[in-house]
Structure 1
Amino acid sequence: MAPVQAQPLRIALLGYRSNPHGGGQGIYLYYLSKALVDAGHRVDVISGPPYPRLDPRVGFIPLQSLDLYRNGLRSLRPRHLSSMSNVIEWSSKLTGGFAEPYTFSRRAVKFLRRHGHRYDIIHDNQCLGYGMLELQRMGLPLVTTVHHPITSDLRIALAASNSFRERLLIRRWHSFLGMQARVIRQLHHVVTVSETSRQDIARDFGLQPAGIDLVPIGIDTEQFRPLPEIPRRPQRLMATCSADAPLKGLRYLIRAYAQLLSQWPELELLVVSKLRPGGETEQLIQQLGLAGRIRFVSGISTEQMVKYYAEATIAVVPSVYEGFGLPAGEAMACAVPVVSTDGGALPEVVGDAALQVPAKSADALAAAIDSLLRDPQRREQLARAGRERILEKFSWARCAERMAGYYREVLLRADG
């Protein structure tokens, strides 16, 4: 038999929810699975809904759930009660909880108990449900990616809350974190995407940083690329961030935009996100008198997003915290000058190829944007430097190469 190092690997990538339009975890699964297949490995993505968009060469195994965040509590039918996972999912949602990581891990154990022998390695994408410990006990080689500790999301959401009741609901929704903390401390192979995330995960979950491996993610520089044939709008800002997630800092950009309009009355703001009617972001827009001035787009293709980047004068990343910072990397790959906060791992991504400002400061964002609007030469310099930095330091081919090497190390340790 050939040594394990020489063989293509059979990989199962697990994602409890994997739609790429739903957040960075879906994007990670799409590109990592594609890059691993490009490198000659065989990959199946095993996912709960909302389901992923995948390269046609990647296998897909759906693990059906109630998908209550799309279907609602009234979607429960008598036939669903035959599954304990369904009952747990429904009762948790009924009381304001989020049980999907736990129930997905139960379903994954059920599937892999029968079919785990098909794979050399199981790679969990931040589910951290109790079922992952069961897979480990079953002897299946398991690797877990943690993009960043969701404890950061919890702290930021609590700080942004306006009432005791709201804080109560936030804590209830994040109650799955107790499970994740207990699980991660018992996992043998944890990997993350940035040095900032490594330190934050270690701090929040009581781990040693040296016990967490690092494999930075990549940017699809073939899709996210300059489109010189598309003219830039003379005054358009663009941001890609969840509208009502305090972690993403859109409120600070909106306040900065309100300031900038006094000097730049024709300035546009395009936000790639879905605006929730009646949500905090919409309320802020109304309070600042910006109704009709900010354009929100959602559910768009990657091709359309790249076209929007090509039209943008400046891309803004206002995040309070990022475990990596895909929006910054994608904008830089498109040769758009970037204004970024220093939240989380963003300095690791943008380096000196963007203007950086302190997180949670609308004034600092406004000043940096204003300075770039007044300096076309500086914008051109940052656009070139950003594209060069992404090409040099971040690619999915390199990510897949490093991840496959990590898989092989795990397998060799298991054989030893």
Structure 2
Amino acid sequence: MSAEAAPAATPSPSTGPAAADGDRPLRIALLTYKGNPFCGGQGVYVRHLSRELAALGHSVEVIGAQPYPVLDGGVTLTELPSLDLYRQPDPFRTPKRGEYRDWVDALEVATMWTGGFPEPLTFSLRARRHLAARRGDFDVVHDNQTLGYGLLGGPGRIGAPLVTTVHHPVTVDRQLDLAAADSRRRRMSVRRWYGFTRMQKRVARRLPTVLTVSGSSRQEIVDHLGVREDRIHVVPIGADTRLFSPDPAVPEIPGRIVTTSSADVPLKGLVHLVEALAKLRTERPDAHLVVVGKRAEDGPVAAAIERHGLGDAVEFVKGISDTELVRLVRGAQVACVPSLYEGFSLPAAEAMATGTPLVATTGGAIPEVAGPDGETCLAVPPGDAGALSAALGRLLDPVGGPELRRRLGRSGRERVLSRFTWAQAARGTADRYREAIARQGAAAGARSRA
């Protein structure tokens, strides 16, 4: 059981644990077609939300495919394996004949061979088959952004009411990747890869209950996916404030800037941060960047690092433990979120929770998390390397920087404690489960009377 250090974690009469609100604990199936806890937000979401739902007294079973999530707090994992076509060190592999189990496996390989991304569809088909065989085991099924055809059809197909989380529409990623494509061939490849978004649009419009993590994402779901506004509910996620917390014993490393990003994902804006670092080092030669994420051997980020001679000033780290990540963030003088767009921004919340001062863009939902410029962070326009450099320089300035860092770090943590914890997210999510169950019960009663 987690005990997050947040005043808001105390149950209220309307949002407390199942035992406190008079309703029985729920049996929850939480689906995740990709659960890597070290890359991307889906595995982080599943790990922390499932733990806190269990802490409220609910029974949570995570049903997932590779890479399988890491789970805490006695949460059960049921493995629903794919062919794992993108695993390292042999991504885009062709399976051996003996690996094929059924037609879903054949569909998965065929989609990959044609340049598409099959996992949302094929996981949804496997999940439907699994849930249908276990009809009656769950009170609610919670889909973590699969949005596959297999999950349509209502409780009659999957055995329980469906609630779906959409962190943000993947069509936003598609737009930014197309804008960054530098050739006709590359644009064709991007369109093929994101072919599954057509399915996700069709599925999203038929979903009865959609959860999302911010007001910005809510509007994007309306605009990009065409979901009715009355079906979308905002339940913010948060930081593990027990783990991500200040520790004065960890020494600050002068000039260190930390960010969480992947070099080959344009929407993360890392190339603009590298450009900002080059400008900054003309005045602050000790400024250097640690990137928690994958290094790209070619592409815009690699080219910018080489062009500016920053090979010794930019370090990439990947696959580190939670403890190592927290220590890294605590030791930085500044944390930075340079993204062009975020549906929420866990890295912002986690950095703020440690008391590390934050420089962040105003892309997507980041301002909802990071708060007002000059109060809880320094905010800059997305894609503006000059503004990034200036903000970083203010915090690293030897005269005014130390006091500004202390003030922003203190107010940033207070903001996270009051608004963005996993315990709050679990209570809000459980409330939506009960609404979905009640709505389904009312609909079944109406059909029976008719």
Same fold, TM exceeding 0.5? Answer: yes
CA distance in 2, matches of 1:409, 1:106: 26
Corresponding residue to 1:173 among 193, 198, 206: 193
User: Alignment partner of 1:31: what SS?
Assistant: helix
Query: Does residue 1:114 correspond to 2:133, yes or no?
Result: yes
Per-residue CA deviation, residues 244-277 of structure 1 (Å, 9 max, x unaligned), is 1111110100000011111011111111012032
User: Alignment partner of 2:286: what SS?
Assistant: coil
Query: Does residue 1:398 correspond to 2:424, yes or no?
Result: yes
Structure 1, unpaired ranges of 5+ = none
Deviation at 1:15, TM superposition (A): 0.3
User: Alignment partner of 1:60: what SS?
Assistant: strand
Partner of 1:50: 67
Deviation at 1:366, TM superposition (A): 0.5
Alignment of 1:262-411 (within 5 A): 262-352=282-372, 353-374=376-397, 375-411=401-437
Per-residue CA deviation, residues 212-252 of structure 1 (Å, 9 max, x unaligned), is 11111121100111111011112111101122111111010
Partner of 2:45: 28
Q: Is the 8 A contact 1:102 1:129 kept in 2?
A: yes
User: Alignment partner of 1:296: what SS?
Assistant: strand
Partner of 1:197: 217
| Shift in alpha-carbon separation, 1:272–1:74, aligned structure 2, 3 A | closer
Corresponding residue to 2:107 among 84, 88, 91: 88
CA distance in 2, matches of 1:112, 1:211: 24
Q: Is the 8 A contact 2:35 2:67 kept in 1?
A: yes
| Shift in alpha-carbon separation, 1:82–1:308, aligned structure 2, 3 A | closer
Structure 2, unpaired ranges of 5+ = 1-18, 443-450
User: Alignment partner of 1:117: what SS?
Assistant: coil
Partner of 1:101: 120
Q: Is the 8 A contact 1:332 1:390 kept in 2?
A: yes
Deviation at 1:21, TM superposition (A): 1.0
Deviation at 1:34, TM superposition (A): 0.4
Identity %: 47
Bigger shift: 332-341 or 278-287? 278-287
Deviation at 1:398, TM superposition (A): 1.0
CA distance in 2, matches of 1:78, 1:359: 48
Task: State the one-letter code of the partner of 1:101.
Answer: P
Partner of 1:64: 81
Deviation at 1:280, TM superposition (A): 3.6
User: Alignment partner of 2:86: what SS?
Assistant: helix
Q: Is the 8 A contact 2:94 2:109 kept in 1?
A: no
Deviation at 1:29, TM superposition (A): 0.3
- TM-score, structure 1 normalization: 0.97
CA distance in 2, matches of 1:230, 1:72: 38
Corresponding residue to 2:36 among 19, 29, 40: 19
Task: State the one-letter code of the partner of 2:384.
Answer: S
CA distance in 1, matches of 2:63, 2:86: 19
Q: Is the 8 A contact 1:316 1:340 kept in 2?
A: yes
Partner of 2:148: 129
User: Alignment partner of 2:43: what SS?
Assistant: helix
Per-residue CA deviation, residues 319-361 of structure 1 (Å, 9 max, x unaligned), is 0000001000000000000000000000000112101000011
Task: State the one-letter code of the partner of 1:315.
Answer: A
Per-residue CA deviation, residues 84-139 of structure 1 (Å, 9 max, x unaligned), is 11111111111211010000001001100111321110000000000110454425
Task: State the one-letter code of the partner of 2:110.
Answer: S
User: Alignment partner of 1:327: what SS?
Assistant: helix
Q: Is the 8 A contact 1:109 1:135 kept in 2?
A: no
CA distance in 1, matches of 2:307, 2:264: 16
| Shift in alpha-carbon separation, 1:401–1:259, aligned structure 2, 3 A | same
Query: Does residue 1:185 correspond to 2:205, yes or no?
Result: yes
Q: Is the 8 A contact 1:109 1:134 kept in 2?
A: no
CA distance in 2, matches of 1:64, 1:248: 29
User: Alignment partner of 1:20: what SS?
Assistant: coil
Partner of 2:26: 9
- TM-score, structure 2 normalization: 0.90
Partner of 2:6: none
| Shift in alpha-carbon separation, 1:306–1:73, aligned structure 2, 3 A | closer
Moved over 6 A (4+): none
CA distance in 2, matches of 1:333, 1:59: 28
Q: Is the 8 A contact 2:357 2:412 kept in 1?
A: yes
Deviation at 1:5, TM superposition (A): 5.5
Q: Is the 8 A contact 1:224 1:330 kept in 2?
A: yes
Bigger shift: 274-283 or 226-235? 274-283
Choose between structure 1 and 2: higher helix proportion. 1
